Amino acid sequence: MIGALQQHWRSYLIEAWALGMFMISAVFFTNLLENKSFIMGNPIESAWLRRLLMGVAMGSTAILIIYSPWGKRSGAHLNPAVTLSNLLLYRIKWEDAVWYILAQFLGGTLGVALFSWLLVSFGAVSEVNYAATVPPPNGVVLAFVLELLMSFLLFYLVLSLSNHVKLAPYTGFFVGAIIVVYITLEAPYSGMSMNPARTFASAFSGQIWTAWYIYFIAPVLGMGLAASLFRWDYRRRHGGNCLTLNCHLSGQKHQNPVYAVSGPKIILEKFGADPASMINLKP
């Protein structure tokens, strides 16, 4: 654990920064679109249009983080469920996964807290509620199912695109686009989180813990199921070999130092991987 921290602390700090910035953006744009006393004065009347604009704002935020120099360095997980799924795929060591997750929770929480500290009266208003993710009344079961399904589809899409020869560099843009769709169409039914650290960050500052467990369990299950299914299909299509399973959202192949490349060296060499940088793990 300590050795991993000494070696990769920069990547951990980047993960904290990334989710912190994402949460600052979430609270800011929620205020901008929902809070009558914020900058705009009179929010747009159409709830659907407000959600669309919120989706565009958060999708764009995600894209900017993913393709930023720092985002490329850490892999831009921004999400404990993504990190755990990469661990399941043997794409990250468990020590790094622990630090990534701690950094994500800390960064996201500090991001909301920082906004609330700088603009004391805006985070807590009822229209904003620190951008908390809560299900509608009597909608807990539906929210759980939708969070699981969205998480599954998102991560399966990430794996499919990031392992596609031509589409890999555009994976992050697809992620941004699906965030727009989810927030616009699905947010009223689950709150649209897919991220335990994102939910915790808002819940901690606002002490809004309504059905918080949904957003901890469903995303992890959904993305874990996507990782398992994709890995099974990937091995089926490649003669039982795991090969490289490139999962970087920006499409930057093997540039993240905390990722361990798995698979037989003789096969990896055929795909242009450097044998000196390989770490053989269980495929």
Residues 6 or more apart whose CB falls under 8 angstroms from that of 106 comprise 16
Q: What is the pTM of this model?
A: 0.87
Flag whether pLDDT at 194 surpasses 70.
Answer: yes
**Residue ranges covered by each domain of the chain:** 2-277
Joined tokens for residue 208: 């809004």
Q: Rounded to an integer, what distance in angstroms lies between the CA atom of residue 11 and that of residue 74?
A: 5
The 10s digit of each residue's pLDDT in 230-267 is 988 887 876 666 666 677 777 776 567 777 655 555 55
Indicate the pLDDT class of residue 127, thresholds 50, 70 and 90: low
Lowest-confidence segment of 137-141, 195-199, 218-222, 242-246 by average pLDDT: 242-246
Determine which of 134-138, 192-196, 200-204, 267-271 has the lowest per-residue pLDDT on average: 267-271
CATH class of 2-277: mainly alpha
pLDDT digit string, tens, across residues 22-65 = 999 999 898 888 877 766 656 788 889 999 999 999 999 999 99
Q: Which of 72-76, 146-150, 234-238, 250-254 has the highest mean pLDDT?
A: 146-150
Distance CA 128, CA 125 (A): 5
